[in-house]
Structure 1
């Protein structure tokens, strides 16, 4: 099967708008046919979760051993991307998709990963900065809720907030970890910046979501009135 056909087969179920969409999809298209058959979709989900656990551990080691252990977190994000990005795609490639099972499992494990990362950072930072770890988890959870509601209302599944998606978030946080190793203490302020950006994006997306909901209500009301009129006629 040619790469173009594989690419088309793998990504028909979701709309991607993130900056790295094209190179990311090309890499996934290359990797999927090369995944050993004994590695299942659930196995890849487990691998992704192990990556999140490694990120959590990297924060613990950075706190109590040496800050350079934060670099393990970058490896954790790479592992998390590998498992999280390929688990659903491998099911579509092998013609064994379980749409709602996979959708549910993916959302649950994404939330588990977010909590692990937030908890790890909460252990690593001190004092008032612990609040920013909590705020990050809350705002990222807010973004996840928006994506699920948008799917429910529009029947179009997108995991991106405009030009930024989970992959871009991983890259940004990876760069933040490198910055912390070079300039200890800077991570606390960078996380606050991320929280502010997430808050702004979520407000914009919430407003768009409400507009979608209002439009859906108007369409359904018009259809109901039309149906009632046809009955009378």
Structure 2
């Protein structure tokens, strides 16, 4: 499989899995049936989030083995979320600002569903961790959008970690929970701590970028 570089010319990726991920996407894009539109792929991504939500609910009320649905849901979510914009570029039907707005809204809705699923799965005294996970990921999303506003360059990665790596980590956490029930609480706590400090560092970098742009604009006056 070779990477179709034209498909990814609109954004710079720094995540660990970017090379194999882009090769796989380049392989998939030409094979998507014409009947499946970019909006259809966005809907598929949302369906993946609903599968993850359902896996938590079913695991809570029936059997923990329903959590095996979650990794499948994350794959479906990745498939739709990663290919919707790329298929539009491949077919020369991209709508930059429409796609940007839809992508952000769907990412937030997906995050809320996953957080709500976790909230319903854990015992009541740990429910706040679901809120913290959603809030911290929302903070990361806000930083991403502000960085785009300040630099005019859009990136969805926080250094070596991007949405794909986050999905892989969450899948591993859920699988570990199936094998050793209760471990998800410790794992999500560690993820929240890591997200908090990553967001602090990225916020400082964002402020520095804002200072640089302010200085540049004053110089040009």
Output the TM-score relative to the length of structure 2. 0.99
Structure 2 spans left out of the alignment, 5+ residues? none
| Cα distance in 1, alignment partners of residues 192 and 12 from structure 2 | 25
CA-based RMSD: 0.9
Say which of 132, 137, 160 aligns to 1:135.
132
Secondary structure of 1:82's partner?
Answer: helix
Q: Deviations over 1:34-59 (max 9, x none)?
A: 00000000000000000000000000
* 2:90 counterpart residue number: 93
| Cα distance in 1, alignment partners of residues 120 and 159 from structure 2 | 31
* 1:191 counterpart residue number: 188
Say which of 22, 25, 30 aligns to 1:25.
22
| Cα distance in 2, alignment partners of residues 98 and 128 from structure 1 | 45
Secondary structure of 2:29's partner?
Answer: helix
Larger-Rg structure? 1
Secondary structure of 2:158's partner?
Answer: coil
Secondary structure of 2:92's partner?
Answer: coil
Q: Deviations over 1:174-216 (max 9, x none)?
A: 0001000000011011100000000010000000000000000
Q: Deviations over 1:144-202 (max 9, x none)?
A: 00000001101111000000000000000000010000000110111000000000100
Output the TM-score relative to the length of structure 1. 0.94
| Cα distance in 1, alignment partners of residues 33 and 162 from structure 2 | 28
Say which of 84, 91, 115 aligns to 2:81.
84
Kindly report structure 1 stretches of 4+ aligned residues shifted beyond 6 Å: none
Are 1:163 and 2:163 an aligned pair?
no
**How many residues of Structure 1 are paired with residues of Structure 2 in the alignment?**
221
1:1-233 correspondence to structure 2 within 5 Å? 3-4=2-3, 7-224=4-221
Secondary structure of 2:100's partner?
Answer: helix
Structure 1 spans left out of the alignment, 5+ residues? 225-233
Secondary structure of 1:39's partner?
Answer: coil
How far does residue 3 in structure 1 lie from its aligned partner after superposition?
4.5
How far does residue 9 in structure 1 lie from its aligned partner after superposition?
1.2
